[in-house]
């Protein structure tokens, strides 16, 4: 049995710990602040693809991960007895003008090849239902690859699934075996210390939760705003993207602007009360891609960081490739994600 110590109980640390436990490893999981204390303790939970064109390793990895997500989260739900709030309910996006409509048609074609027939990207007419966003052209992009989950519920379900296997989140413990650092922005700051260039940075995001039941409807992406109909009778709205900020965990008028945009796009939300406001710092690696692999300067230590805006969507496949590396010394990490490329 391989001993693994995972430091950090955000979505990366929890998912990797879960995959290692499933494969029979003895895992120690440490987070002084508890599960979901960092960027993973939020509200939004869009599992949405990059556009199907200009294919690259990041998009291919993301496609695999989004396609794996249903099985991954079903397994977590079965063992934990808790719902992560996962549903592959697709996404609708308004099409603002003729040029965007032409691009959308081209992407519908490229999606057929790039998504291997496992999901569609198609153009559909705006309809008269109250969940169909206003679209200047009268047309919407619908994709059937996008899914959603509830980040806090997903983190809670993973922590419970791990606990059912005897792995609880400890505040501190000695390292046992190989050590994985999945410590988000704290980890990026530690990696950057003493270097001429930062290895990554934090990008603040603010999000809100509204009381409105649209569970089962597709998520919407309108004018840069995610509108996520969770299955518990709430709708998440997000997010701001702030490179400069005074406080990491406060919300302000920038979030009000995002809420206003969402209410304008979907009038049925106009009177929906705001029941939560939340801010977090996304860990962004210098490459903007996930940063995965062996820590070059510290034998026996490993890194999983840089989830940035898509950490939840990437987590199932990241768990897989990191467990391959930790347990079997198999490197299935795309070169552009490899930690070594950032050093």
Report strand pairing: 3-7 vs 178-181. Answer: parallel
Tell which residue, 147, 148, 154, 144, has the closest CA to residue 45. Answer: 148
Among residue numbers 154 through 193, which ones bind ligand FAD (CB under 6 A)? Answer: 182-184, 186
Closest approach of ligand FAD to the CB of residue 179, in Å:
10
Among the candidate windows 4-12, 50-58, 136-144, 194-202, which touches ligand FAD by CB under 6 A? 4-12
CA distances for 227 relative to 47, 151, 220, angstroms: 12, 14, 5
Among residue numbers 20 through 39, which ones bind ligand FAD (CB under 6 A)? Answer: 30-33, 37-39
Among residue numbers 122 through 141, which ones bind ligand FAD (CB under 6 A)? Answer: none
Among 4, 17, 29, 44, binds ligand FAD (CB under 6 A): 44
Closest approach of ligand FAD to the CB of residue 138, in Å:
28
**Among residues 45 and 218, whose Cβ is nearest to ligand FAD?**
45
Among residue numbers 188 through 247, which ones bind ligand FAD (CB under 6 A)? Answer: 205, 207, 226, 238-239
**Among residues 126 and 287, whose Cβ is nearest to ligand FAD?**
287
Which regions of the chain does DSSP assign to beta strands (E)?
Answer: 3-7, 26-30, 46-47, 91-94, 121-125, 139-143, 147-148, 169-170, 178-181, 200-211, 219-222, 225-229, 234-238, 274-285, 291-294, 301-305
Closest approach of ligand FAD to the CB of residue 152, in Å:
11
Q: Where are the alpha helices (DSSP H) in 137-195?
A: 151-164, 184-192
Among 5, 40, 234, 342, binds ligand FAD (CB under 6 A): 40
Among the candidate windows 8-16, 66-74, 194-202, 325-333, which touches ligand FAD by CB under 6 A? 8-16
Closest approach of ligand FAD to the CB of residue 73, in Å:
13
Left (φ > 0), alpha (ψ -120 to 50) or beta: where does 272 sit? beta
> DSSP states of 285-333 as a string?
ETTSS-EEEE-TTSTTEEEEE--TT-HHHHHHHHHHHHHHHHHH-----
Instruction: Report CA 146 to chain centroid distance, whole Å.
Output: 12
Note whether 290 binds ligand FAD by CB under 6 A. no
Note whether 9 binds ligand FAD by CB under 6 A. yes
Cα–Cα distance, 313 to 315 (Å, whole number): 6
Contact 220, 203 (CB under 8 A): no
Note whether 153 binds ligand FAD by CB under 6 A. no
**Among residues 139 and 199, whose Cβ is nearest to ligand FAD?**
199
Left (φ > 0), alpha (ψ -120 to 50) or beta: where does 247 sit? beta
Among 313, 316, 319, 320, binds ligand FAD (CB under 6 A): 313
Among 17, 46, 66, 292, binds ligand FAD (CB under 6 A): 46
CB under 8 Å to 267, separation ≥6 — which residues? 130
- Bridge partners of 338? 292
Cα–Cα distance, 120 to 143 (Å, whole number): 5
Closest approach of ligand FAD to the CB of residue 98, in Å:
30
Among the candidate windows 41-49, 123-131, 249-257, 319-327, which touches ligand FAD by CB under 6 A? 41-49
Closest approach of ligand FAD to the CB of residue 136, in Å:
25
> Which residues would be at the binding site for ligand FAD (CB under 6 A)?
7-13, 30-33, 37-40, 42, 44-46, 182-184, 186, 205, 207, 226, 238-239, 280, 282-283, 305, 307-313
């Amino acid at each position: 049995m391989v001993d693994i110590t995972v430091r950090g109980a955000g979505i990366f640390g929890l998912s990797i710990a879960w995959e290692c436990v499933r494969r029979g490893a003895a895992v120690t999981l440490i987070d002084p602040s508890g599960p979901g204390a960092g960027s993973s303790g939020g509200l939004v939970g869009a599992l949405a693809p990059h556009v199907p064109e200009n294919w690259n390793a990041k998009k291919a990895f993301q496609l695999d991960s989004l396609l794996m997500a249903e099985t991954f989260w079903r397994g977590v739900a079965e063992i934990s007895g808790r719902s992560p709030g996962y549903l592959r309910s697709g996404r609708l996006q308004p099409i603002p003008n003729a040029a965007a409509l032409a691009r959308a048609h081209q992407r519908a074609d490229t999606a057929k090849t790039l998504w291997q027939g496992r999901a569609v990207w198609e153009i559909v007419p705006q309809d008269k239902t109250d969940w169909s966003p206003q679209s200047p052209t009268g047309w919407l992009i619908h994709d059937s690859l996008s899914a959603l989950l509830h980040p806090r519920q997903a983190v809670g379900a993973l922590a419970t699934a791990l606990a059912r296997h005897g792995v609880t989140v400890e505040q501190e413990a000695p390292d046992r075996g190989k050590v994985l650092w999945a410590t988000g922005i704290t980890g990026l700051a530690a990696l950057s210390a003493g270097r001429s260039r930062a290895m990554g940075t934090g990008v603040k995001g603010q999000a809100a939760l509204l009381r409105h039941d649209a569970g089962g409807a597709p998520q919407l992406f309108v004018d840069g705003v995610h509108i996520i109909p969770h299955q518990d009778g709430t709708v998440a709205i997000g997010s701001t993207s702030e490179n400069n900020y005074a406080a990491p965990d406060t919300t302000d008028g920038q979030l009000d602007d995002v809420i206003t945009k969402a209410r304008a796009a979907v009038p049925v939300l106009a009177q929906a009360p705001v029941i939560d406001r939340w801010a977090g710092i996304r860990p962004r690696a210098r490459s903007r891609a996930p940063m995965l692999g062996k820590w070059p300067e510290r034998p026996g230590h490993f890194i999983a960081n840089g989830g940035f805006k898509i950490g939840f969507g990437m987590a199932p496949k990241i768990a897989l490739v990191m467990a391959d590396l930790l347990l079997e010394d198999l490197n299935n990490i795309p070169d552009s994600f490899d930690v070594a490329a950032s050093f």
